Amino acid sequence: MNKFYAIAAAALMAASAYAQDGAPLYVTGGAIDESEGAVSPWGISNWNAEDPAELTFAEGKYTGEFKGITMFKISTAKGDWDAFNAGAYGCKYGKEPGKAVELEAGYTENIVCPWPGDYKIEVSGDLKTITLTTDTPNPNPGGPTKVYLRGEMNGWGAPAEWEMTYAEGSYYFNCTGEQMVLAGQTFKIADANWTEINYGVEEGAIVIQDDVAIWEPNGKDAKFEADWNGGVKFTIQEDGTALAEFSSTAIDIPASGIADIEASDNAAPVYFNLQGVRVANAENGLYIVKQGSKVSKVLVK
C-alpha cells in the first residue's frame, strides 16, 4: 500500500510540474520609440494586463516574436495587475541573448532584454526557463551604456545635451548656463530606454548639494530644494547601488572621458565643453582643451 501511494505521489508531482503545458501564457511590455530613442508605452499590448498578448504553444514550448521591445512581463493569468502579478514568472536575464535562463515563480519585476531590439521569446512548457534571441546587433558592444539626467527639466527625455560623460568608471555631468534643474523638479539617472540603468532615491528623499548619497536601482524620483546648476559624479558599485555626488559648482571631468583626439603635442588644440562634448567654435566660457597629450582648462573670452 505504501508503495502504491509513493508511486501515486510521484506521478502527481510530475503532473503538477508540467501542468502548464498548453495552458495560456500571457505577455505584455514596452517597445522602442524610434522618434525619440527612448522607451514607448506602445509595446507588447501596451502594458495591458487585462488584454495582454498570448504566446503560442507548440512542440513543448511557448514562443512569440516582437518588434523593437525593451522589457516585458509574462504570466499565467490576466486581469488587473494584482491578478497578472500573482501568476507572474520572471528573471534577471542578463546581457547574453540565446542563453536559457531559469524562471522564478512570483517574480514581479520586468524581464529586461539584453538591449532594445527585435526578439523571439521562448519559454519551456513547464515554465522553468526562458530564452531570448535576436538579430538586432548590440548598439554599444564593449562600451559603457549611455546615461542621461532625465526629468521634468527635459520632459523626461534623453536629449544629447543631458547625456553624462563616462570616464574612469564613473558618469559625470555639469549643468551650465540656463541648463539647470529647478527646485522641486523631479528627475532620475537612467539610460535612454529605462532598462539597464534606472536609478533613483528613497521615497520622499531630497538631494543635498555637496554631499554623497546612495542611489538605488528602480528608485523613486529625486528632487532638490533649491535650484541646481552644478556638477555630479555618479558611480555604480558592485552591489548594484550607486554613489551620487551633486556639487553646487562644476566639477572636473577626467580627460580619459575625451576620445578621438590627435596624439601629437604639436597638433591643433581641440576644445570640449565641461561635459566632454567636442565644440567646433569655442565662444565665451570655460573649456577643456586637448592638444596632443596635454589637457588643460582654458577660459575663452
pLDDT in tens, 158-191: 998 999 999 888 999 999 888 899 999 999 999 9
* Extended strands (E) in 162-220: 165-167, 170-174, 187-190, 198-200, 211-217
The pTM assigned to this predicted structure is 0.58
Q: Which CATH number fits domain 2-134: 1.25.10.10, 2.160.10.10, 2.60.40.3620, 3.40.50.620?
A: 2.60.40.3620
State the average pLDDT over residues 82-93.
Answer: 95
pLDDT of residue 126: 96
Flag whether pLDDT at 86 surpasses 70.
yes
- pLDDT, one tens digit per residue, over 222-277 is 999 999 999 999 999 888 899 999 999 999 888 754 444 344 455 677 776 665 56
Give the per-residue pLDDT at 50.
Answer: 96
- Strand partners for 214: 243
Q: Please give, one letter per residue, the 3-state secondary structure of 48-95.
A: CCCCCEECEEECCEEEEEEEEEEEEEEECCCCCHHHHHHCEEECCCCC
Summarize pLDDT for 197-215 with one digit per residue, the tens: 999 999 888 999 988 899 9
**Residue, of 219 and 140, whose pLDDT is higher:** 219
Does residue 91 carry a pLDDT above 90? Answer: yes
pLDDT band at 34 (very low <50, low <70, confident <90, very high): low
Residue 237 one-letter amino acid: Q
**In the chain, what is the straight-line distance between the N-terminal and C-terminal CA atoms, in Å?**
96
Which pLDDT belongs to residue 263?
42
Question: At 56, is the pLDDT very low, low, confident or very high (cuts 50, 70, 90)?
Answer: very high
**Would you state the pLDDT for residue 55?**
96
Query: How high is the pLDDT of residue 31?
Result: 77
